[in-house]
Amino acid sequence: MNDPAAKARLLTLGARTVPVLAKGEQYIFCQNLEDVAEFVGLQGTGHTPLPPPALIAKWLVVLRAAQRYIRQISDDRLRERAIDNRDRSIRLLSHHIFRIGEAFLETAVNDVEYRADNANLPPAAGTCMTAEEIIRYGDGVIERLENWWSLLDDKSCRQKVKTFYGTPPMHQLFERSTWHSAQHTRQMIAILERFAIESAGPLSADDLAGLPLPERVWD
């Protein structure tokens, strides 16, 4: 987005989305850290994914925290950029946190292939325009996640799911979706700090423990 030469290189490889890791003319989609480790010649990442019961508990904590933070931002400020060097508004970032969960459910429940752009679909025109509307959308996603988990027969999540990068076990997409929402929720805290607003109930180290998050908030 910020480097035309890098975008040209991406298209030359044949990739249409990021994150991508390339070595010569070979590349992989960086959706699975174990695949990344193998691609660069490492013997695994050393990371042990949290079990599914821990993931659902953390994901729900994260999503409810995101609702608290969104409520602290005025509707006028939702139109501002979340970060200067990317053309994404706070409104779209806020919606995206919950859209990640909705995209996961489309794959886990409805067997829809998880495409590269699934979690990035914007809200329908005229919807999620205010903080309260985004929060209500989040309520619906949270309720659906809770129902999915309570009705799920095989809570090991070893069943395969269809994605644009292969057919990994659901556990892998589950973990990625959880930390994906968590990373963007960390960004909401950073936005509040930029506005000199103390976040309502900040996420703790324990809340995020065990998730493979980047050190930096905007990575």
Helix (H) or strand (E) holding 172: helix 170-194
Burial class for 124, CB neighbours closer than 10 Å (0-12, 13-18, 19+): exposed
3-state secondary structure of 83: strand
Which domains are present in the chain? 4-39 (no CATH), 52-208 (1.20.120.450)
Question: What pTM, to 2 d.p., does this model score?
Answer: 0.86
- What is the model's pLDDT at position 95? 98
Comparing CA positions, the residue from 58, 59, 56, 61 lying closest to residue 201 is: 61
Is the confidence at residue 26, as pLDDT, over 90?
no
Is the confidence at residue 35, as pLDDT, over 90?
no
- What is the model's pLDDT at position 42? 75
Is the confidence at residue 168, as pLDDT, over 80?
yes
- What is the model's pLDDT at position 12? 79
Our CA angle for 131, 214, 81, nearest 5°, is 35
Q: Which two three-digit tokens encode residue 105?
A: 């459910």
Comparing CA positions, the residue from 217, 219, 212, 201 lying closest to residue 62 is: 201
Helix (H) or strand (E) holding 62: helix 52-71
CA dihedral 96, 173, 53, 203 (to 10 degrees): -40
The answer for residues whose C-beta is within 8 angstroms of residue 187's C-beta and 6 or more apart is 82, 83, 93, 217, 218
- What is the model's pLDDT at position 174? 98
- What is the model's pLDDT at position 31? 65
Do the beta carbons of residue 113 and residue 162 sit within 8 Å? yes
Do the beta carbons of residue 28 and residue 36 sit within 8 Å? yes
Half-sphere exposure of 175 (CA within 13 A, CB side): 22
Q: Which DSSP symbol is given to 202?
A: P
Look at 116 and 82; give whichever has higher pLDDT.
82
pLDDT tens readout for residues 74-112: 999 999 999 988 889 999 999 999 999 999 999 999 999
- Positive or negative, the Cα torsion across 88, 90, 95, 99? positive
